Structure 1
Amino acid sequence: MNEMHRCVVEFATTVSKGALRSVVDALIELGEINEIVLQHRVTHYHSKELLRRLLREAAVHHISAPRLAGMLEGASCVVEYYQELSPELVWTGPVPAGTATRQTEQVMLEVIRGARKRLFLTSFVAYKVDRIVIALNEAADRGVDVKILLESSEDKGGNLSMDSVSLMRGVLPRARFYAWQIRPEEFTGGSVHAKVAVADDRLAFITSANLTGYAMERNMEAGVLLRGGEHPRKLADYLESMVSTGVVEEL
């Protein structure tokens, strides 16, 4: 694989599907490679850097805009096929040279936007995640049953100095919020420390990242996205059973 092909693969595997589609469309519509226009089609700083590297290699190899669009579309199809067959590593933080992973927020948004009937998220704390909030409200607009389990504040028996539930309820009026209110003796002092997002029994994102701005963009966080198979279904059933059996209670 030469450097040009490597840049194509890295870009196709890192940016969101929407951003990739936007870049391809711009290449086709313009009929030429206009870096200024293309830079506006991606938002995250890391994606912009990958795009700059891709365009530099395209210039070196005299790749035309239509040909580059075709290369990106082809790589995207291959990536999507293999993503459906295997877990996807998700990483936020410094990225070693020669590696390519999608970031936490990109994958969290994919799971939320992919939900059609039910969506369950858990986190220790949640605040300052504007793009996540927008996506969750859009999911509610589609009729998705959005459930969110968070750690309670100290004044309500939990371990948080802040009240994440009240903060998030204010911006997510149609979501249903849950807390681990009654903790058996062996779990005294324990916290809701799981960070997962499950959509429709078919997409499951397991991550170290809380629902915070820093976790989405600045912290060093790792996770795995699972598509299809038994594990998303098992995790969804486990979360729903905690609700139905009263382990966690709706607030």
Structure 2
Amino acid sequence: MRLNLDALHALSTANLRALATSFRDGQLAMGLTAASINQLLCGCDVDVLSCLETLVSNGMGAPQCALLLDAITNERERAPDLARLFEPVLSGPDVPGVPTGDTAAAMQMLVQEARKEVLLVGYAVYNGERLFEPLALRMRENPELKVTFCLNIARRFGDTSLDSEVVNRYALDFHQKHWPWPELPELYYDPRALSESSEHRASLHAKCVVVDHRAALITSANFTDAAQYRNIEMGLLVRHSPLAERVADYFEGLRLSGHLLRCPL
């Protein structure tokens, strides 16, 4: 027989502990009654009483019921608080009752937390010096910090230059306008964005920031003033290592497999 424990899962942790204690050493150890449940829960919960009666009728004694309630409580306490693991990052005009902020604040918070590595993935960069300066300072403070950019280097319409020329121009522009500091990151790009054929051209359109394989900001915002400070943008700040690691590993795999190539800076 399959038991439905929803009524027990709906109880507060305090009520679960009270029931377990009573099954172990209190009134419920002497027998299950509506009066006992009423006293423990400050009101008789019919669903809880029915659930417990089903357990007892299927051969579970008071010690076993106590162990089950302890197990539910312990599992609940081990489970992560999802509100702390996943936080929406909403940028744009204020809406009453809905917390918002600029995307740049979330990005800078992650940068300050970084100890080993920062991965930044984006489609467009404009006037990046303002946005990236805290990251450059972090690199200066921590010489061991590895910073990797994966950005879209695209061929402009009508540009018939060699791929290497387009990439070198982008590198010069990146160094002059977006990263004028001596501590240099690594920069990678998708060579398919340079294809002269629209049939084969593809863009690196993802936008995210991953720190130390343990936290990630996945967002609609590009690395531009408008996107980071003014636009209506939506993202999710994830503090869940398995997910952040999966995102970082994907881009590392693209680099190692040659799908992303390194741009010389």
TM-score range, shorter chain: 0.5 to 0.7
Residues 125, 164 of structure 1: 8 Å contact kept: no
Partner Cα separation in structure 1 for residue 246 and residue 170 of structure 2:
27
Structure 1 segments unaligned to the other structure (5+ residues): 1-80
Instruction: Label 1:231 to 1:241 Cα distance change in 2 as closer, same or farther (>3 A).
Output: same
Are 1:91 and 2:90 an aligned pair?
yes
How far 1:186 moved relative to its partner? 11
Residues 140, 175 of structure 1: 8 Å contact kept: no
Structure 1, 215-224 or 177-186: larger mean CA deviation = 177-186
Count of residue correspondences: 168
Q: Which residue of 2 aligns with 1:125?
A: 124
Q: Secondary structure at the match of 2:84?
A: coil
How far 1:83 moved relative to its partner? 7.6
Identity %: 27
Aligned ranges for residues 1-251 of structure 1 at < 5 Å? 85-141=84-140, 142=142, 143-154=144-155, 155=161, 165-170=171-176, 171-173=180-182, 174-182=184-192, 188-251=200-263
Partner Cα separation in structure 1 for residue 241 and residue 117 of structure 2:
17
Instruction: Label 1:236 to 1:131 Cα distance change in 2 as closer, same or farther (>3 A).
Output: same
Partner Cα separation in structure 2 for residue 166 and residue 122 of structure 1:
19
The TM-score, its normalising length taken from structure 2, stands at: 0.57
Amino acid corresponding to residue 151 of structure 2 in structure 1: L
Amino acid corresponding to residue 175 of structure 1 in structure 2: P
Residues 86, 226 of structure 1: 8 Å contact kept: yes
Partner Cα separation in structure 2 for residue 156 and residue 197 of structure 1:
31
Residues 152, 165 of structure 1: 8 Å contact kept: no
Q: Compute the RMSD of aligned alpha carbons.
A: 2.8
Residues 126, 211 of structure 1: 8 Å contact kept: yes
Amino acid corresponding to residue 99 of structure 1 in structure 2: V
Q: Secondary structure at the match of 1:197?
A: strand
Q: Secondary structure at the match of 2:138?
A: helix
Structure 2 segments unaligned to the other structure (5+ residues): 1-79, 156-160
How far 1:166 moved relative to its partner? 3.2
Structure 1, 137-146 or 216-225: larger mean CA deviation = 137-146
Partner Cα separation in structure 1 for residue 235 and residue 84 of structure 2:
17
Partner Cα separation in structure 1 for residue 225 and residue 239 of structure 2:
25
Instruction: Label 1:186 to 1:82 Cα distance change in 2 as closer, same or farther (>3 A).
Output: farther
How far 1:129 moved relative to its partner? 3.4
Partner Cα separation in structure 1 for residue 213 and residue 207 of structure 2:
16
Residues 89, 223 of structure 1: 8 Å contact kept: yes
How far 1:111 moved relative to its partner? 1.6
Residues 192, 200 of structure 2: 8 Å contact kept: no
The TM-score, its normalising length taken from structure 1, stands at: 0.60
